[in-house]
Chains A and B, each alone.
Chain A
Amino acid sequence: MRYTEICIIGGGPAGLTAALKAAGLGAEVTLVDRNDYLGGQLIKQTHRFFGSKQQRASERGINIARELSAAVLNNDKIKVLTEATVLGYYEDGVVAVEQHDKFIKIKPQKLIVATGGAEKTLAFPNNDLPGIYGAGAVQTLVNVNGVKPGKKVLMVGAGNIGVIVSYQLIQAGVEVAAIIEAAPTIGAYWVHASKVVRAGVPIYTSHTIKRAWGDQELEGATVVKLDENWQPIAGTEIDFDVDVICLSVGLSPLTELLWQAGCKMAYVPELCGHVPLRNENLETSIPGIYVAGDVGGIEEASAAMMEGALAGLNAAKSLGYHAPDFAEQRAGVLKELEGLRSGPVGEKIRSGLAKVVL
């Protein structure tokens, strides 16, 4: 059995920031991630971030990942286990981990779950043809492995991820035939949308995919327009001759460990699925278990970093660690989060979060 003061599951923006803040207060942290690198989805984010100066706006996610990872790896208060998958959480507070074919038991005093989200998929005829990918996979191929997924892509979904991945595909020299979106409006920030439209990618709102075709692999797709009740309009079909369909139709929180721990959960559509109830310290209904980032509701990286900071500070504080500027640090993070969520695009998050307060 390994003992640690705080165990953090997930080394993405939320987990890394949580580790740094908790260690900054003096707590001893064990950070577990199933990948062989730290940074989570940040390592694929080559575009500049929105947000405020404090949330490192205008910096590229990939640079933020590099800096946060280096800070975590150089901090002797933080022990990092990579290529380590958390298998379960037991009644006695033991976290079971598999690393390099070995079974490890960790007993933390506090647990911060920052496991992020998983991509959703879409049902349509032939959606199992080779050449149909999730946006995360396409981003991994292009931005991590340097591999083009194909020659010509149809992007499904005009949220921030769909539009940004389209932009990154064009940057990589891959043609994007179109972005289709079932909703009547573009979900991504309009500046992102404008960027890809001027680069020659049309966005078809109120359109969905009817079917994919191809024999051994994807050869094309038929798209159809939707009426105001989201029903296909006959005769509006458009065929796209593409070898890749990229699905960017949303994420859902990765909450298995929280269910296993017995945390009170609620289904909140605005937060994209079942999420844990939590108090303002981001502590769940099980004392000592905190959440941060997309596992608590799908949002974006800046908010995940701020939530990580909050969970890290609060978890360390609950162990008796303190800093003269603790109150200021905490108030600063809360103010940043409030600012991020305050505008019209934050309305959905605000209404979702109002439903999960403990």
Chain B
Amino acid sequence: MPEVRFLFLGREEFNVLARTGVPTAEDIAEVMPSKERLAKGAVAMIECFQKIPCDPCYHSCKRQAIQPFADINDRPRLDHDKCNGCAMCLSRCPGLAIFIIDQTYSADKALIKIPYEYLPLPAEGHVVDAVNRAGQTVGEAQVVKVQSSEKLEGTNIVWLAVPHHLAMEVRHFKVKEVR
């Protein structure tokens, strides 16, 4: 638990995420589904590393895969085995911190579902720049689908196909040659 680590030391500056906004490999490892679970298909990854008063993800999960919050400041705890990657939580998270990963999408590609609130929206079939958590382009991704309905209230969901080795890296994308 990163916050336990720095609170214990009494030195917030030890926390890289708090200084840069970029979660560390250690932070990520803590919320990553097991290899076995990833091998079974779509599953959510909740990249929420701070105790803040917020709980819409818990209320959005119909399968109760997100464990009940004793305190609204609790960080979400996801039971990866109960999660089927439905993405209900993804568009409800005010922090846009939830992603769906499907490592079983195809032999050479993984599918990532990303919450996206920028314009222009890409279209199915577009090739976009695949971007990591630090804002760096790490490769290319193909847009598989764009979900954009009134029900999503402005938080669109973009499905990206990326090479397997980038499934845990890519969390954003840039539409090429615009602006």
Contact = CB atoms under 8 A, between A and B. Distances in A.
Interface of A: 47-53, 57-58, 60, 170-171, 173, 184-186, 189-203, 205, 302, 339-346
A53 B56 contact: yes
Nearest to A196: B21
B48 interface: yes
B179 to A, nearest CB: 7
Interface string B58-75: 011000000000011100
Interface string B126-146: 000001111100000000000
Contacts of A47: 94
A57 B134 contact: no
Contacts of B104: none
A90 to B, nearest CB: 40
B133 A48 contact: no
Contacts of A195: 95-97
Contacts of A190: 17-18, 21, 23, 49-50
Which secondary structure characterizes the binding site on chain B? loop
Q: What's the interface size class on B, roughly? A: 35 or more
A48 B60 CA distance: 14
Contacts of A343: 51-53, 71-73
A197 B134 contact: yes
Given A50-B52, A185-B15, A195-B95, A344 B3 contact: yes
Contacts of B48: 191
B118 to A, nearest CB: 6
B53 A339 contact: yes
A344 B12 CA distance: 12
Q: Chain B CB within 10 Å — which of A60, A191, A197 has the most?
A: A191
B54 interface: yes
Interface in B154-179: 154-155, 171-172, 174, 179
Contact of B73 (A57, A184, A196, A342): A342
A345 B15 CA distance: 15
A185 B21 contact: no
B34 interface: no
27 contacts: A47-B94, A48-B92, A49-B94, A51-B53, A51-B72, A52-B53, A53-B55, A57-B55, A57-B94, A58-B93, A60-B153, A60-B154, A185-B13, A186-B19, A189-B50, A190-B21, A190-B23, A192-B95, A194-B23, A195-B97, A196-B21, A198-B172, A200-B131, A302-B53, A342-B72, A344-B7, A346-B73
B52 to A, nearest CB: 5
